[in-house]
Amino acid sequence: MLIDWFTVIAQVVNFLILVFLLKRFLYKPILNASDEREKRIAAQLEEAAKQQSEAQGEHQKYQQLNDDLTQQKDALIATAQKEAEAERRRLTEAARKESDELRTRLQESLQTEQTNQRQDLKGHAQREVFDIARKVLTDLAGTSLEAQITGVFIEKIAAMGKEEKAQLLAALKPAGEPLTVSSAFELAAAQQTGIKGAVAKLLGKETKLQFRTAPDEVGGIELSANGFKIAWTIAEYLGALEKRITAFPEAPENNLTKTESHVK
């Protein structure tokens, strides 16, 4: 078989030309495009990594901020709870003190009312007994109660012992003022003279006496000088009655108990 070298050479030349053209106009642009794509992808990956890093940093920053806000919130709540508890204790203590003060005032008021009631009842009882005794003595003995009281008082002066006499003399020395005789009724001249005589006999000398009327001394007479005092009154015989009177007004105490329970 004969080989057509011209044809072979021509085909080789055509092939080389084809390879050159492919490399020049096809492979090179494809390779360049591939390189550019790789570079673009690498740049995008780098940008994505950078953005991811920034996003992670922002996330940490926001997480830290959220933690700080949570701590601040917890601290504010704890402070508010402490302040609320302190205010509750303060108000409770203030209410307790006010309740105690109110209860104390109620007790004092009721005790004062009880005392006033006892004093009023005591005075009323004394006056009633005094009036009854005057009427009885007047009807039975034909003499006044005042005269009987004055007679008993004169006997009491005459019966004074040495110690009482010394106390009376000591009371008269510093000021030199007259003795004061106080009575619930106005003493008649004869009664005053009798008392003056009893005092002069006791002291062994004439002594100036000053007589005055004291309605508070229910049914009694009192001799006093600079703190020294000797007296006789119907009240001395009403001690047992006074004890009964003291226990009489129980209603206010019951009201006090109810009031305390209501206050509590």
pLDDT > 70: percent of the chain? 77
DSSP code of residue 26? I
Which band of pLDDT confidence, cut at 50, 70 and 90, is reported for residue 16?
confident
Say which residue, 231 or 188, is predicted with more confidence.
188
Other C-beta atoms within 10 Å of 67: how many?
10
The arithmetic mean of pLDDT across residues 178-198, rounded, is 86
Q: Is the distance from CB of 199 to CB of 157 less than 8 angstroms? A: yes
- Give dist(CA 219, CA 98) in Å, integer: 46
Q: Is the distance from CB of 197 to CB of 141 less than 8 angstroms? A: no
| pLDDT digits 0-9 by tens, 33-57 | 888 888 888 888 888 888 888 888 8
Inform me whether the pLDDT recorded for 258 exceeds 50. no
Inform me whether the pLDDT recorded for 261 exceeds 70. no
Say which residue, 255 or 37, is predicted with more confidence.
37
Q: How far is CA 2 from the centre of its chain?
A: 138
95 to 19, 31, 81, 82, 263: CA distances (angstroms): 109, 93, 21, 20, 10
Q: Is the distance from CB of 234 to CB of 126 less than 8 angstroms? A: yes
What pLDDT was estimated at residue 219?
A: 62
| pLDDT digits 0-9 by tens, 90-148 | 998 988 898 889 889 888 888 888 888 877 777 777 677 766 765 655 554 445 677 88
- Give dist(CA 141, CA 135) in Å, integer: 10
Which band of pLDDT confidence, cut at 50, 70 and 90, is reported for residue 249?
low
In one letter, which amino acid is 154?
A: I
| pLDDT digits 0-9 by tens, 79-91 | 888 998 999 899 9
* Sequence-separated (6 or more) residues with CB below 8 Å from residue 191: 146, 147, 150
C-alpha triplet 129, 132, 136: angle, nearest 5°:
135
3-state secondary structure of 222: strand
The arithmetic mean of pLDDT across residues 210-226, rounded, is 77
